[in-house]
Chain A
């Protein structure tokens, strides 16, 4: 996982709430058995509409995705953050996220930033008005800065540390291997096995 510290770039505003993972990456594209290459299918159905904002060349190269509340609801498919990352985004800003999606993002190296609805609105409007609007997301200091806006965002210390260091969860857990083994010794014998 790529470490995340300070991300600076322009933003793609997707002004919709309850964007589900079937919209982020439709199921017909889930058949690939690789982790990469999902970027071109991001918002697969919506992007067929030439007026959908992702098709506006002025937003090409954006590294921040801004969206409405409850972003990433629905299916647990990690293909959703894979597609977002593959399309060049490192940060998603929204008033709220669905749990599994948020969690998946932090495993992939995409930073989910939750800001108050008014601040997201202000960023959304700024990016809609001027595609050149630059947004700085500073993970170590938990701060989002844009013209006329400075706001801190919440993230738990552990997740922030993992993202800043680009650490692999499995490696961390394997440090507790002894505890896993001793827990296993206490499990009831009647628990089912395959």
Chain B
């Protein structure tokens, strides 16, 4: 029977199947971070269980780490990080601790180190695990009980998922990026539109994206409610993986390629749901509310909640505008953030930093704005510094930081203060996500960088020309 990419990966990982039970899937790679794992390791200890495959388990610290030099001053954060160090040592797991080469946001280092490869099943106690789907891997976010389950058994029982094709055809206009694609997708399907589904992103606009762009798209699958999101592996994928530290080599590389080429969805396969998006019609998106579907294009105005037909959405829009302190009808370009955050597992890779650096080079951050650039990993930081991007950002007035989740969530010292308004390249604009009372607008790196210069939402194309 004709199969989709997701179905092929699934079928190749079934360890046990029985009528009336969820399939038991084998997990090829289990990524672990400090926040969602301590209780799982404790569970193992209580039951006297070992980690079945420490060799398929990789741990890093990202959520709590400060991104400035110096010790961890938050005692509870330090406890959580110490717990991971101890657990990794006790159970024989490879750990990339704070400050070590290889450390970084869990979803940035997996691909970068070559752990993430096509056709794998990858899990992590983190909902943005879908990022790894960019390689044609089936990658799920799981809870802590499931983390314990995978540690103990290297498998995971999974209820069947539906398949959804999101077809994005056409050429992306200049100034639009992968981030705008995924914000448009979420705006179209809604925050719950993908529930119960695994999304496959397809179409010429997706094939034209780099791996980094595809990771940005897959990263936010969860914001559309999907269990996972993936892209068929192709030459772009193989070129990215080849030569990375954990990629197959020599004859193994040839065998792997042969296998990976069998993964793309069969022509006659049928998806349970299909959604079409015209890439050529896209514009840069800016979120105005407190969930990632509440967004408009940069050319629009803040919507009037009364314009929503659905009562629930109307009510949610009213609450969101109160929280965001925005008036209906305000042009998005008139909204003035006081903070700029370029970072997170959505947009903290080299391509993102290069785009932003190009915009800010030779310009200055607007008066009174606080602007942060936080590379996704130690390796990204090193590479960016090699290319001189750190100087470009610093000269423009950005703070150049160490690797971590940073201002994506309020668990480490980089947080918004109540009432702060942030243009952020991260993935969640929930109330208080970046710090209590903070207001988040989700944007692409290009828009974040241009906004930093202008002091209000804008695109690089709309900035006054640089002085020669």
CB contact list, B64-87 vs A, under 8 A: 64, 74, 76-77, 79-80, 83
For residue B114, CB closer than 8 A to chain A, the reply is yes
A20 touches B20 (CB 8 A): no
A180 touches B26 (CB 8 A): yes
For residue A179, CB closer than 8 A to chain B, the reply is yes
A74 touches B430 (CB 8 A): yes
Cβ–Cβ < 8 Å partners of B63 in chain A: 27, 30
Contact stretch, chosen from A65-73, A83-91, A129-137, A146-154: A65-73
Bound-state CA distance A74–B291 (Å) is 9
A76 touches B143 (CB 8 A): yes
For residue B104, CB closer than 8 A to chain A, the reply is no
Cβ–Cβ < 8 Å partners of A27 in chain B: 63, 409-411, 433
**Residue of B77, B80, B143, B313 contacting most chain A CB atoms (<10 Å):** B143
A188 touches B316 (CB 8 A): no
CB contact list, B1-57 vs A, under 8 A: 15-16, 20-22, 24, 26, 28-29, 35-36, 38-39, 42, 47, 49, 52, 54-57
Cβ–Cβ < 8 Å partners of B47 in chain A: 170
Bound-state CA distance A79–B188 (Å) is 30
Given A76-B143, A170-B152: A18 and B192 within 8 A (CB)?
yes
Quick one: which of B115, B117, B252 contacts A189, CB cutoff 8 A? B252
- CB closest chain-A residue, reference B319: A16
For residue B120, CB closer than 8 A to chain A, the reply is yes
B196 touches A99 (CB 8 A): yes
Bound-state CA distance A18–B191 (Å) is 8
For residue A51, CB closer than 8 A to chain B, the reply is no
Bound-state CA distance A23–B316 (Å) is 14
A30 touches B411 (CB 8 A): yes
A173 touches B39 (CB 8 A): no
Total residues of chain B contacting the partner, CB 8 A:
84
- CB closest chain-B residue, reference A31: B76
B195 touches A99 (CB 8 A): yes
Q: Mask for A158-179, Cβ within 8 A of B = 1, else 0?
A: 1000000000011011101101
Cβ–Cβ < 8 Å partners of B141 in chain A: 76, 100
**Residue of A30, A31, A45, A173 contacting most chain B CB atoms (<10 Å):** A31
Contact stretch, chosen from A4-12, A54-62, A103-111: A103-111
CB contact list, A4-43 vs B, under 8 A: 16-18, 20, 22-23, 26-28, 30-35
B153 touches A174 (CB 8 A): yes
A73 touches B144 (CB 8 A): no
Quick one: which of B20, B93, B115 contacts A157, CB cutoff 8 A? B20
Bound-state CA distance A44–B218 (Å) is 30
Quick one: which of B16, B21, B36 contacts A76, CB cutoff 8 A? B36
For residue B312, CB closer than 8 A to chain A, the reply is yes
Given A74-B222, A74-B430: A194 and B93 within 8 A (CB)?
yes
B192 touches A20 (CB 8 A): no
For residue B402, CB closer than 8 A to chain A, the reply is no
B259 touches A188 (CB 8 A): yes
How many A-B pairs fall under 8 Å by CB? 200
Q: Mask for A92-128, Cβ within 8 A of B = 1, else 0?
A: 0000111110011001100000000000000000000
Query: How close is B9's CB to chain A, nearest CB, in angstroms?
Result: 13
Cβ–Cβ < 8 Å partners of B196 in chain A: 99
For residue B225, CB closer than 8 A to chain A, the reply is yes
Given A76-B141, A192-B246: A33 and B152 within 8 A (CB)?
no
Total residues of chain A contacting the partner, CB 8 A:
58
B80 touches A98 (CB 8 A): no
A75 touches B127 (CB 8 A): yes
Cβ–Cβ < 8 Å partners of B433 in chain A: 22, 27
Bound-state CA distance A104–B125 (Å) is 11
Bound-state CA distance A35–B83 (Å) is 14
Bound-state CA distance A26–B35 (Å) is 13
- CB closest chain-B residue, reference A101: B143
B316 touches A45 (CB 8 A): no
B114 touches A26 (CB 8 A): no
Given A104-B145, A157-B20: A183 and B26 within 8 A (CB)?
yes
Quick one: which of A33, A169, A170, A189 contacts B39, CB cutoff 8 A? A33
Quick one: which of B49, B94, B114, B195 contacts A70, CB cutoff 8 A? B195
Cβ–Cβ < 8 Å partners of B52 in chain A: 180
Given A70-B192, A99-B227, A183-B26: A28 and B410 within 8 A (CB)?
yes
Cβ–Cβ < 8 Å partners of A184 in chain B: 26, 154
Query: How close is B63's CB to chain A, nearest CB, in angstroms?
Result: 8
Q: A96-B192, A103-B142, A156-B159 are in contact. List 19 more A-B contacts (CB 8 A).
A: A17-B315, A27-B63, A27-B410, A31-B74, A33-B39, A74-B222, A76-B141, A77-B35, A78-B125, A98-B195, A158-B20, A173-B153, A176-B16, A179-B24, A180-B16, A191-B117, A192-B28, A192-B29, A192-B117
A-B CB contact pairs (8 Å), 14 listed: A16-B319, A22-B430, A22-B432, A27-B409, A30-B411, A33-B80, A99-B195, A103-B143, A158-B21, A169-B157, A174-B153, A180-B155, A190-B256, A194-B54
Q: Which 6 A-B pairs have the closest CB atoms?
A: A107-B145, A104-B143, A190-B252, A190-B248, A78-B143, A33-B38
Q: List chain A positions with a Cβ less than 8 A from chain B.
A: 16-18, 20, 22-23, 26-28, 30-35, 45, 68-70, 73-79, 81, 96-100, 103-104, 107-108, 156-158, 169-170, 172-174, 176-177, 179-180, 183-184, 187-194
Q: List chain B positions with a Cβ less than 8 A from chain A.
A: 15-16, 20-22, 24, 26, 28-29, 35-36, 38-39, 42, 47, 49, 52, 54-58, 63-64, 74, 76-77, 79-80, 83, 93-94, 114-115, 117, 120, 125-127, 141-146, 148-149, 152-155, 157, 159, 191-192, 195-196, 222-223, 225, 227, 246-248, 252-253, 255-256, 259, 291, 312-313, 315-316, 319, 409-411, 428, 430-433, 436
